[in-house]
Structure 1
Amino acid sequence: MDNLRNASLFQPLELPCGAILKNRIAKSAMSDSLGDGRGDPTDAQIRLYERWAEGGLAVSIVGEVQGDPRSAEKPGNLVLGPASDFGRFRALARSGSANGAQLWLQLGHAGAMAHPPISDPKGPSALDIPGVACSALTADEVAALPSEFARTARLAKELGFGGVQVHAAHGFLLSQFLSPLFNKREDGYGGPIANRMRLLLEVVEEVCGEVGPSFPVAIKLNATDQLEGGLVEDEALAVITALDGSGIDLIDISGGTYFPGARSASDRAGGGAYFLDFAEKARPLTRKPLMVTGGFKTQQQAADALDRGVDVIGLARALVLDPALPDRWRSGDTGGPAFPTFTDPPEGGITAWYTMRLTEIGEDREASDGADLRTAVRDYETRDTARIELWNARKWT
């Protein structure tokens, strides 16, 4: 029985567009912070996605690829637009699609969470609270967003990437429109959830129309914002119901918000997948394939999720610790990687440690000894400070 359940992880999946994932394991989008500070891929980033492809997964998703440099989350983000180095992006697409894998770009816009030293934070509504300040998008700016996402998706297709994912989770712009905590608009994009999801549906429609019916378009969606006053489960289920009539090929379920003081998904009590119960509620509402991201550490947990109606398993930190984990599971080793234990971590320390580990993988270096979070934070911040200067010196048009 265990062998049969293990085999289910390695069955192909045909998406509604006709594209085929070679198995059910995905590297979910992470902000790998490996851009060169000018919006283009680095050698380490290209090698990182090649290593994940070599490790046996079906698809990797590059987190937070911006269409507009004024809406970036961090100076390590990629920016895909007319001024991009297309040769570098093509090299990334080729390397990430080795070994029968696919490489998708996540279409990002940080909105209110845009990094002020390099961006122009704008969200659904004006905010001025500790840690977040932004102005409100005008009606004309909102109307221009679907075309912006679609242009980035078209470029991704032209440069050889296997698909795109629309980012509507974790407190980034489209997630902000869905959330009553961020969205206080009084026009057709605010108020009840039917209005708050309007921009998302317009983005999905325009992206799908731009890339055509045979190119994969996924979406990342919060099950919950994990913030008081934010998006709640019933509203998220309403969005999934609406997406069933769209051209989306895969719904990636996650949760949480990168908001000052907010709990992360990994702060949830208990082990195992964080959003599997939500996925079970979503399953009767849509014919679209479902992916669940967050909390998977062992092959048994992944196989259990497939038994409960999930189609794709999204792994993030597990693949940072062991880029060849899919091949190891295929060989019959059902355990997971050894997760480090952090005592009294500083704010941002765990994220910085995993982010710097991605650099080591991309440079084919072994993991550093120990788990010195303060050193990781220092190195992470020093690198971003240098990139801010590069970002602001670049001519983007």
Structure 2
Amino acid sequence: MTLASPLTLPCGAVLPNRLSKAAMTEGLADPQGLPTPELTRLYKIWADGGAGMLLSGNIQIDADHLERPGNVIIDRELNEDERAKFREWTAAGTSNSNHLWAQISHAGRQCFKIVNPHPKAPSAVKVGIPGGQFGEPVALEGHEIEQIIAGFVRAVRTCKEVGFTGVQIHGAHGYLISQFLSPRTNIREDEWGGSLENRARLLLDIIRQSRKAVGSHFPISVKLNSADFQKGGFAFEDSVTVVGWLEELGVDLIEVSGGTYEQPRLLGIEGMEPAENPSVKASTAVREAYFVDFAKAMKEACKMPLMVTGGFRTRAAMEQALESGAADLIGLGRPLCADPDGPKLLLNGEESLHRYEDELSLFPPILSFLGKIKALRGAAAFAVQFWYYGQIYALGRTGKANKDLSVFAAWRQTEATHKDWLKQRRG
């Protein structure tokens, strides 16, 4: 098996190779949450880059619960003019005979205060990050949970109708579905909380109803935490059980990830708590692919294809993951922000992708001490995200990356863009 090998999914759909652009937040929707020419240009560039499948960034089902200003939103039935904008986007994103899947999400309590000071969540448990960026969440009523399920199903159906070739339900990284799954953030005592079966009910109902809405031949995938990496949170053994339930419901692909805003293991930050699974090797913390060992252990419990994202940079590591059976699809994120042709290069024999975050090289030399002080590593890793936001903005707006952009300039650009977007949206 090589990176160029096709992948046939349980539903019968075929991905032309084993590389996927992972979901990354774009922030390029218009103030109504609709696709823009910039978003269309961005995905045409990524389609030309050679990946067999592209995953969109968060498409939100509720305009009051955005992951950030600039998210695409499907929170109602779209009219024909709005659908035309989506079709322009999906046509560009599938222009290289590749797949384009929509990542569908609801931020829940991980919604910034500037968007919603009182977001809905399974329980009134506030995000445990200092700085006051997140508001006080309000526990959802039972009828509101049913409305959220209907919102996910509507978005799934709409995405199929406007030209996406598959969908991914975002159940990881501390967003709403992940919040329901975790006993740290779901302390409900009704049918939506308590046992794992109850905590997984939201996700399972979304999948069950979505499958009914789009039929058996349309790919439905789920992004799921291998673990939250927090004491008392969603543990690896819970994840394996949920994967088994999802397989029974006909899910075609699981993307294995991990962490939340409070424990951002998805960023590869050192110093995170170890996983609660003794069968996972200690090498996970230091090896190139963060979640490979979790996926390999998960493979022992399920037969459906697994996608692994996080840390891959060399072709050798990617092929090893495929050949060992730990992964069926390799997700690439940050490298494709500045080098969107990365998949094509790998398929043509390139040995590795550039890693811009090495040694915090994106910061001025005078701040090199950031990488040496353990307490500051997390803050530095979050700050570097803005540089990648800046590259996505540049690709969408100009067609080219801006590798000379500084982290601080990217942060200012992002803040200004967010404020302008919210100002226009609120009129």
- Give the alignment's TM-score, normalised by structure 1: 0.92
Question: Which amino acid counterpart does residue 138 of structure 1 have in structure 2?
Answer: E
Aligned to 1:306: 322
Cα separation, 1, equivalents of 2:123 and 2:349: 51
Q: Aligned with 1:202: secondary structure?
A: helix
User: CA offset at residue 82 of structure 1?
Assistant: 2.6
Q: How does 1:216-231 map to 2 (within 5 A)?
A: 216-231=219-234
Aligned to 2:268: 266
Q: Aligned with 2:20: secondary structure?
A: strand
1:239 aligns with 2:242: yes
Cα separation, 2, equivalents of 1:111 and 1:338: 32
Q: How many residues align?
A: 386
Q: Aligned with 2:54: secondary structure?
A: strand
Cα separation, 1, equivalents of 2:230 and 2:107: 18
Residue from 68, 74, 77 that aligns with 1:82: 77
User: Alpha carbons of 1:306 and 1:37: their partners in 2 closer, same or farther (altered >3 Å)?
Assistant: same
Cα separation, 2, equivalents of 1:359 and 1:371: 11
Cα separation, 2, equivalents of 1:160 and 1:369: 32
Residue from 376, 384, 387 that aligns with 1:353: 387
- Give the alignment's TM-score, normalised by structure 2: 0.86
Aligned to 1:187: 190
The one-character-per-residue Cα deviations of 1:272-326 (angstroms, maximum 9, x if unpaired) are 1111111111112112111011110111111011012111001101211321111
Q: Which moved more, 1:267-276 or 1:297-306?
A: 267-276
User: Alpha carbons of 1:215 and 1:264: their partners in 2 closer, same or farther (altered >3 Å)?
Assistant: closer
Aligned to 2:300: 284
Cα separation, 2, equivalents of 1:263 and 1:26: 20
Aligned to 2:163: 160
Q: Which moved more, 1:231-240 or 1:169-178?
A: 231-240
Unaligned runs of 5+ in 1: none
Question: Which amino acid counterpart does residue 208 of structure 1 have in structure 2?
Answer: R
Question: Which amino acid counterpart does residue 60 of structure 2 have in structure 1?
Answer: Q
Aligned to 1:384: 418
User: CA offset at residue 263 of structure 1?
Assistant: 5.0
Aligned to 1:125: 123
Cα separation, 2, equivalents of 1:322 and 1:277: 27
Question: Which amino acid counterpart does residue 127 of structure 1 have in structure 2?
Answer: V
Q: Which moved more, 1:31-40 or 1:46-55?
A: 31-40
Cα separation, 1, equivalents of 2:385 and 2:253: 26
Q: Which moved more, 1:341-350 or 1:199-208?
A: 341-350
Residue from 329, 342, 354 that aligns with 1:337: 354
Q: Aligned with 2:233: secondary structure?
A: coil
Aligned to 1:95: 92
Is contact 1:35–1:42 with CA below 8 Å preserved after alignment?
Answer: yes
Cα separation, 1, equivalents of 2:114 and 2:343: 39
Q: Aligned with 2:248: secondary structure?
A: coil
Q: Aligned with 2:290: secondary structure?
A: coil
Q: Aligned with 1:247: secondary structure?
A: coil
Residue from 34, 37, 54 that aligns with 2:28: 34
Q: Aligned with 1:354: secondary structure?
A: helix
Q: Aligned with 2:179: secondary structure?
A: helix
CA RMSD of aligned residues (A): 1.8
Aligned to 2:365: none
Question: Which amino acid counterpart does residue 121 of structure 2 have in structure 1?
Answer: G
The one-character-per-residue Cα deviations of 1:219-254 (angstroms, maximum 9, x if unpaired) are 000011123332111111111121120121110111
Aligned to 1:253: 256
* Identical-residue share of aligned pairs (%): 37
User: CA offset at residue 104 of structure 1?
Assistant: 0.9
Residue from 296, 301, 321 that aligns with 2:338: 321
The one-character-per-residue Cα deviations of 1:25-58 (angstroms, maximum 9, x if unpaired) are 0111111111123201121211111111111111
Q: Aligned with 2:157: secondary structure?
A: helix
Aligned to 2:282: none
Is contact 1:244–1:285 with CA below 8 Å preserved after alignment?
Answer: no
